[in-house]
Chains A and B, each alone.
Chain A
Amino acid sequence: MILAGVVMWGLVSGETGDRDRVEALGSRIRCPVCQGESIVDSPTPYAQDILAFVEEKVGEGWSDERILAYLEDRFDGIRLDPRFSGRTVALWLLPMAVAVSLAFLATRRLMSRKRLFDE
Chain B
Amino acid sequence: MIAWAGLGSILAAMAAAAMLAWRCFPALTGRGPVDTSRTRWPVVWLVIGAIGAMAALEGGLLFDDFSIAYVADNHRTGTPLIFTLAAGWAALEGSIVLWGLVLALFVLSAYKVMSRAEHPLTGGTLSVLGMVGLFWFGLMATVANPFAICEVASEVGCAVSAWAPWTPIDAPLEGRGANPLLQNHILMAIHPPVLYVGYVGFTVPFAIAMSSLAIGSSGFAWLDLARRWTLLSWGFLTTGIVLGAWWSYEVLGWGGYWAWDPVENASFIPWLLATAFIHSSVVQVRRGVLQTWNYVLVIGTFAATILGTFLTRSGVVASVHSFTQSSIGPVLLAFLALVLVSSLTLFALRVHLVGSPPRLDSLASREGAFLLNNLLLVVFAFVVLAGTLFPLAVEAFTGDTVGVGRPFFDRWAVPLAYCLLLTMGIGPVTPFRIARARVLWERLRTPLRVSLVIAALVILVVSRNRHLIIVTLLASFVIGAIGRHLLTLAGRRVAATGNRTLPTIVRLVRGDPGYWGGQISHIGIAILAVGISASSNLVTAGAIDLTPGDRQPFAGYELVYETPFSRTEPNRTVVGARISVMRDGRQVARLDPRLNDYGGMSGPIITPAVHSTFGGDLYISLTRLDQQGLQADVWAYPLQWMIWLGGLVTASGAAFSLAALRRRSADRSEAIRA
Interface residue ranges, A against B (CB under 8 Å): 3-4, 6-7, 9-11, 13-17, 19, 23, 27-28, 30, 32, 35-38, 41, 43, 76-82, 87-88, 90-91, 94-95, 98-99, 102-103, 106-107, 109-113, 115-116, 119
Contact = CB atoms under 8 A, between A and B. Distances in A.
B318 interface: yes
Contacts of A32: 401
A111 B363 CA distance: 8
Contacts of B214: none
A116 B357 contact: yes
A82 B467 contact: no
B262 A36 contact: yes
B155 interface: no
Contacts of B408: 80-82, 91
B348 to A, nearest CB: 16
A99 B375 contact: yes
A82 B404 contact: yes
A110 to B, nearest CB: 5
B515 interface: no
A116 B361 CA distance: 13
Contacts of A35: 261, 317-318
A77 B386 contact: no
Interface string B611-624: 00000000000010
B423 to A, nearest CB: 14
B466 interface: yes
Output the residue of A3, A90, A110 with the most chain B CB within 10 A: A110
Contact of A3 (B383, B405, B449, B541): B449
Contact of B407 (A80, A95, A112, A119): A80
A11 B407 contact: no
Interface string B376-396: 001100110111001101100
Contacts of B405: 30, 36-38, 80-81
Interface residues of B, number: 60
B465 A36 contact: no
B459 interface: yes
B281 to A, nearest CB: 16
B386 A90 contact: yes
B459 A43 contact: no
A119 B256 CA distance: 55
Given A80-B406, A99-B379, A102-B375, A14 B400 contact: no
B673 interface: no
B404 A13 contact: no
B403 A94 contact: no
Interface stretch (B468-476, B499-507, B544-552): B468-476
B455 interface: yes
B412 A95 contact: yes
Given A81-B411, A82-B404, A98-B379, A17 B390 contact: no
A119 B359 CA distance: 13
B527 to A, nearest CB: 20
B456 A113 contact: no
A35 B402 CA distance: 10
Contacts of A103: 375
B464 A13 contact: yes
A38 B7 CA distance: 43
B358 interface: yes
A36 B403 contact: yes
A17 to B, nearest CB: 4
A119 B456 CA distance: 54
Interface string B268-309: 000000000000000000000110000000000000000000
B465 A15 contact: yes
B494 interface: no
A69 B613 CA distance: 43
Q: Which 3 A-B pairs have the closest CB atoms?
A: A80-B405, A30-B403, A10-B459
Output the residue of A6, A17, A35, A119 with the most chain B CB within 10 A: A17
Interface in B324-363: 357-360, 363
A28 B406 CA distance: 8
Contact of A6 (B254, B374, B456): B456
Contacts of B254: 41, 43
B671 interface: no
Contacts of B358: 109-112, 115-116
Contacts of B453: 3
B357 to A, nearest CB: 6
B259 interface: yes
Nearest to A102: B375
Nearest to A98: B382
Nearest to A108: B358
A7 B289 CA distance: 40
A3 B454 CA distance: 9
B460 interface: yes
Nearest to A113: B359
Contact of B466 (A11, A43, A112): A11
A91 B466 contact: no
B456 A10 contact: yes
Given A36-B259, A102-B375, 16 more contacts: A6-B456, A9-B459, A11-B466, A14-B464, A27-B406, A37-B259, A41-B259, A77-B402, A81-B404, A81-B408, A95-B382, A109-B358, A110-B290, A112-B358, A115-B358, A116-B359
Nearest to B456: A6
B391 to A, nearest CB: 7
Nearest to A1: B452
Given A11-B466, A14-B465, A95 B404 contact: no
Given A10-B464, A102-B378, A28 B407 contact: yes
A102 B403 contact: no
Contacts of A19: 541
Contacts of A77: 391, 394, 400-403
Nearest to A38: B405
Contacts of A116: 357-359
Contact of B404 (A27, A36, A115, A119): A36
22 contacts: A13-B464, A14-B466, A17-B466, A30-B405, A36-B262, A76-B400, A76-B402, A77-B402, A79-B403, A88-B402, A90-B390, A91-B387, A95-B383, A95-B412, A98-B378, A99-B379, A102-B374, A102-B379, A110-B359, A110-B371, A111-B358, A119-B357
B273 to A, nearest CB: 12
Contacts of B393: 90
A82 B289 contact: no
B537 interface: yes
Given A94-B386, A95-B379, A78 B403 contact: yes
B466 A16 contact: yes
A2 B141 CA distance: 70
Nearest to A75: B401
A109 B357 CA distance: 9
Contact of B375 (A11, A43, A106, A110): A106
Contacts of B465: 14-15, 17
